[in-house]
Structure 1
Amino acid sequence: MLLALSAPALAAFCSDTGGRYEEWKPQMAEEARAAGIGPAGIKALMGTSYSKATISADRNQKSFKYTLDKFLQVRGADTIVKQGRARKAKNAGFYQAIEQQYGVPAGVLLAIHGMETAFGNYMGDTNVVSAIATLSYDCRRSEFFTPHMLAALALIDRGSISTQSIGAKHGELGHTQFLPGNALRYGVDGNGDGRIDLNNMTDALASTANFLRQKGWQPGLGYQEGEPNFAVIKEWNAATVYQQAIALMGRRIDG
């Protein structure tokens, strides 16, 4: 399934406006069927709407152009560090267990959790399937988002998400904002209840640690710039200031 999702055999057209979205959906449905998507996923795709909010957000990303100091200020780094330290102290055993299993220290996970959703306090307001389908349809980054859109449909087929699932403007899911393709590939059942739910904090943080470990995290080695694990932080987000912020806040949280 994962190989099929990353290399669809057909190619639906793309557009820079929403005018042909309804025409695009049946073409993409054929591509999705060829990739192994089942009836529930196809039905979810056909029920999507063009997300103007997603396109607006994608066209107006500004914070990644800030200097590091400005970025840290805008993202509330001091607050994230303070709350991250408190959360680590309150649930020390939980974070120790994750580090023991995956090798990723609490500071990194808490920095990501705080940056992405203010520790789960805001996980988005946009329909996940419509958002990711809109980005697949849009020509700007169709090649990147189409595999994630197919993964979202696969998650629908599995019952991991629904047509009503809400996430961020680019279709990111849960406490640490996994794109659907990463949720499908790296999601784990952290709390042992038999299902992967990234809106559950335990599943989300275990999945985040699993993502980093699978991307090459080396337990016990440093993660600041110039150290081995900083290259793995780059896998989480492509923006340099974001990578630097995770490393710096993580170090402060880990103390």
Structure 2
Amino acid sequence: MAALASPLSAAQCGNNSGGFNTWKASFAKEAAAAGVGQRGLNALADAQYASRTIAADRNQKSFKYTLDKFMQVRGADTIVAQGRKRKARNPAFYQSLEARFGVPAGVIIAIHGMETAFGGFMGDSAVVSAITTLTYDCRRSDFFAPHAIGALKLVDQGAINGATKGAKHGELGHTQFLPGNALRYGVDGNGDGRVDFYNQTDALASTANFLRQKGWQPGAGYQEGQTNFSVIQQWNAAGVYQKAIAIMASRIDG
């Protein structure tokens, strides 16, 4: 049975594909009022109900794993080994990120490895379709609505388009930014005048900027119980993920 979401997303949500097109027409009015332009609105109109996204949202296993099991499943030892090599190959780049944002290399590298195996797989779901489907779905409409608006504004800017692929929850690029966060925290890391989350330099600089803007304290610790662990917690909601990032980062930097 459909229900009404909060005023942030007043379009009528639903629990199956049946009302998606009607919802899109209503949400388009909200998007336009929020400043989304014609390119973004066109991408919204073309969005398809993402059944695989809904299936993934109903079956999130990370929250059920112990830390040891999570580390094993996600290949922590491999991420650490490859991460050390990446840091050694390009130390000046990671030093420049730490100088600018205060975030150590290990944290950025661990996130990059965990999210996409260092860019090896950045997702196969259409970002706009995934994020608008999650906004339409009654389960967490309020949470995803700002990210849907963000995705449509990214389309307006030319940073993504309706066919751009990302993860099943609409996360995009090397470190899997949710679109609203991409819009807010994205920075041009390579100086070419645009923010491209599928460019490694831009994506990692944006990741460091996200952490700094969320309160990262340069030089402070980031293990559980230390100052910066609360910032890592803002990157991902799963406790095992947060702890894994901190542990792997320390091993990479060590």
TM-score bracket, normalised by the shorter chain, equals over 0.9
Write out per-residue CA displacement over residues 144-168 of structure 1, whole angstroms, 9 at most, x where no aligned residue.
0011001100111111111111000
Q: Residue 14 of structure 1 contacts residue 138 of structure 1 at CA under 8 Å; is this kept in 2?
A: yes
SS in 1 for 2:83: helix
Q: How does 1:152-231 map to 2 (within 5 A)?
A: 152-231=151-230
- Matched letter for residue 128 of structure 2: V
Q: Residue 64 of structure 1 contacts residue 71 of structure 1 at CA under 8 Å; is this kept in 2?
A: no
Aligned-residue offset at 1:9: 6.2
Write out per-residue CA displacement over residues 85-114 of structure 1, whole angstroms, 9 at most, x where no aligned residue.
000000001000100100000000010000
Q: Residue 9 of structure 2 contacts residue 142 of structure 2 at CA under 8 Å; is this kept in 1?
A: no
Q: Distance in 2 between matches of 1:167 and 1:95?
A: 25
Q: Distance in 1 between matches of 2:88 and 2:45?
A: 46
Counterpart in the other structure of 1:111: 110
Please list every run of 5 or more consecutive structure 2 residues that lacks an aligned counterpart in the other structure.
Answer: 1-5
SS in 2 for 1:139: coil
Counterpart in the other structure of 1:88: 87
Aligned-residue offset at 1:118: 0.2
- Runs of 4+ in structure 1 off by over 6 angstroms are 7-10
Please list every run of 5 or more consecutive structure 1 residues that lacks an aligned counterpart in the other structure.
Answer: 1-6
RMSD: 1.1
Counterpart in the other structure of 1:25: 24
Aligned-residue offset at 1:22: 1.1
Q: Residue 80 of structure 2 contacts residue 251 of structure 2 at CA under 8 Å; is this kept in 1?
A: yes
Q: Distance in 2 between matches of 1:86 and 1:123?
A: 21
Counterpart in the other structure of 1:241: 240
Q: Distance in 1 between matches of 2:220 and 2:129?
A: 40
Q: Distance in 2 between matches of 1:165 and 1:53?
A: 16
SS in 2 for 1:228: coil
Percent of aligned pairs with the same amino acid: 69
Q: Distance in 1 between matches of 2:50 and 2:163?
A: 14
- Matched letter for residue 136 of structure 1: T
Q: Residue 9 of structure 1 contacts residue 34 of structure 1 at CA under 8 Å; is this kept in 2?
A: no
SS in 2 for 1:227: coil
Counterpart in the other structure of 1:44: 43
Q: Residue 173 of structure 1 contacts residue 179 of structure 1 at CA under 8 Å; is this kept in 2?
A: yes
Counterpart in the other structure of 1:14: 13
Q: Residue 9 of structure 1 contacts residue 35 of structure 1 at CA under 8 Å; is this kept in 2?
A: no
Aligned-residue offset at 1:8: 6.4
Counterpart in the other structure of 2:252: 253
TM-score by length of 1: 0.96
Aligned-residue offset at 1:222: 0.6
SS in 2 for 1:217: coil
CA change 1:220–1:59 in 2 (3 A) is same
CA change 1:26–1:105 in 2 (3 A) is same
SS in 1 for 2:189: coil
Q: Residue 9 of structure 2 contacts residue 141 of structure 2 at CA under 8 Å; is this kept in 1?
A: no
TM-score by length of 2: 0.96
